[in-house]
Amino acid sequence: MSYNLLKGKRGIIFGALDEHSIAWKTAERVHEEGGTFVLTNAPVAMRMGQIKVLAEKTGSEIIPADATSQEDLENLVSKSMEILGGKLDFVLHSIGMSINVRKGRHYTDENYDFTAKGWDISALSFHRVLQNLYKADAMNEWGSIVALTYMAAQRTFPDYNDMADNKAYLESVARSFGYFFGKEKKVRVNTISQSPTATTAGSGVKGFDGFISYAEKMSPLGNATAQDCADYTVSLFSDLTKKVTMQNLFHDGGFSNTGVSQEVIERFSE
């Protein structure tokens, strides 16, 4: 169902890799709500070609950008404003990648070159995006910028590896930059802390199947899906949440405030 919540709003959506991506579902949902946007992803992800399907479906243009490249981000911000015909109202940062996880390096045996690269892609990139938008004065007043995160930033999930540290940094950037973006430009900056979700990035975490079923059993409302996350993001892009900023917003069916659930107790009483 569409409520026209984003009619006339313009933005940039990072991170739609395939139809499972949270960014993909969000792009479809933003389109339904009347928003127009530029899609972007790393040039290497572009070669997989699926993003073109989404672009056609949503009438969007694609601008490749490596989120660790200053040059790419500058180009992305200025070209997006040109294509969309003005300043932006919303931006979704939906980017994550740990080289240590990919290469099977344990948290107690990190390769620090991998760590630095993963941090650059997953965490510092959010500062880069914000700084580029800020310096180019690319956001309209009451605009909204959202990044995706996971609760491993607050609590330990052993196999989440160095992504836990990256997410802690990302959430801190949202607060710190959110102060300046709020003060100077009346723009919101928040992170959504999403349930485990079956996507390419999610499934890369060791033991993901056990992880997602456990979270499902622990959450009174069940896990939030990528589609649910798209809905929530639309609400944060809309004018109905204008005074929400500098927050880490748990979107997890209640998981983060549940000590133990009846289902989990029963499992251990067998």
Ligand X SMILES: NC(=O)c1ccc[n+]([C@@H]2O[C@H](COP(=O)([O-])OP(=O)(O)OC[C@H]3O[C@@H](n4cnc5c(N)ncnc54)[C@H](O)[C@@H]3O)[C@@H](O)[C@H]2O)c1
Contact residues for ligand X, defined by CB under 6 A: 14-15, 17, 21-23, 41-42, 45, 66-68, 94-97, 121, 148-150, 194, 196-197, 199-202
Cα–Cα nearest to 142, from 92, 191, 88, 94: 88
Q: How many CB atoms lie within 10 A of CB 141?
A: 10
Nearest distance, CB of residue 67 and ligand X, angstroms: 3
Contact, 213 vs 195, CB < 8 A? no
At 162, phi and psi to the nearest 5?
A: -75, -10
**Smallest separation, CB 194 to ligand X (Å):** 4
Residue nearest to ligand X (CB): 202
Smallest distance, ligand X to C-beta of residue 22, A: 4
Radius of gyration of the CA atoms of the chain, in A: 18
Task: Indicate if the alpha-carbon torsion angle 183, 81, 92, 200 is positive or negative.
Answer: negative
| Closer residue to ligand X, CB minimum distance, 142 or 231 | 231
Dist. CA 35–CA 45, nearest whole Å? 24
Q: Could you tell me the smallest distance in angstroms from the CB atom of residue 165 to ligand X?
A: 13
By beta-carbon proximity to ligand X, the closer residue of 34 and 204 is 204
Specify whether the CB–CB gap between 188 and 143 falls below 8 A.
yes
Rank residues 150 and 268 by Cβ distance to ligand X and give the closer one: 150
Residue closer to ligand X, measured from CB, 6 or 22: 22
Q: How far is the CB of 233 from ligand X (least distance, A)?
A: 11
Number of other CB atoms surrounding residue 116 within 10 Å:
14
Q: Which is nearer to ligand X, 23 or 81 (CB)?
A: 23
